[in-house]
Amino acid sequence: MKIIITGASKGIGRAVADAYAGEGNELWICARNEASVTETAKALKTKYPWVDVRSMAADLSVRADVERFAKWAQDEAGQIDVLVNNAGRFLPGSIAAEPEGTLEELLQTNLYSAYHLTRALLPGMIGAGKGHIFNICSIAALQAYDNGGSYSISKFALLGFSKNLREELKPHNIKVTAVHPGAVYTASWAGSGVDPERIMAADDIARMILAASKLSPRAVVEEIVMRPQLGDL
């Protein structure tokens, strides 16, 4: 299969890239930092030398970068089988006290990136009559919580996008899955004092996404909700 993964240089995105590469799929990946995404592609090709992994630095909060990445991936890959909209950013805060512009910044990164990239790739998927889109939402899209602020708003919006997309694409045999991870041990938790064994590994999320993409055309997992065994932090 041919896979596009955004925000693929670390955390969940990198784990998803590793999971798909491990099964011999072709990957087109992006992240904001050129050195980081280049290193990710190199590491994957070293680990799985039989796999084709191509990378591009792109800030998907910028519309022009979305369009540039979409055109590059389509020109090289042709038909895309799986799109994983993982690019995102977390800024804690409350609606009343967070800095001016926080909502706009998080909507651009967490919602508009997925919206515009998906729209750019949909004609090809619709033409082929197949495809699977994964939007990495959050448990913050399911329930408000302290210090969620605009981050939670942006993730609620991404879930709404996913639900509408699912309904629109049913007739075209294109699947849409919203993924809601709870606490996942990534670089953002380093130095926090939280025991890594208390929260999930990024690979846990990646394996569920991979499994959901391998179902028959007659079945779709509409939402994946995952939390640490001991509950949210």
Question: In angstroms, how far apart are the furthest CA atoms of the chain?
Answer: 52
Residue type, 110: N
Query: Which single residue is written with the structure tokens 């512009």?
Result: 101
DSSP 99: P
Choosing from 20, 112, 151, 185, the catalytic residue is 151
Q: Does residue 84 contact residue 209 with C-beta atoms inside 8 Å?
A: yes
Structure tokens at 10: 């670390």
171/180 Cα distance (integer angstroms): 25
Dihedrals phi, psi of 201, to nearest 5 degrees: -90, 150
- Is 151 catalytic? The answer is yes
Residue type, 157: A
Structure tokens at 54: 């191509």
As annotated, the active-site residues are 151
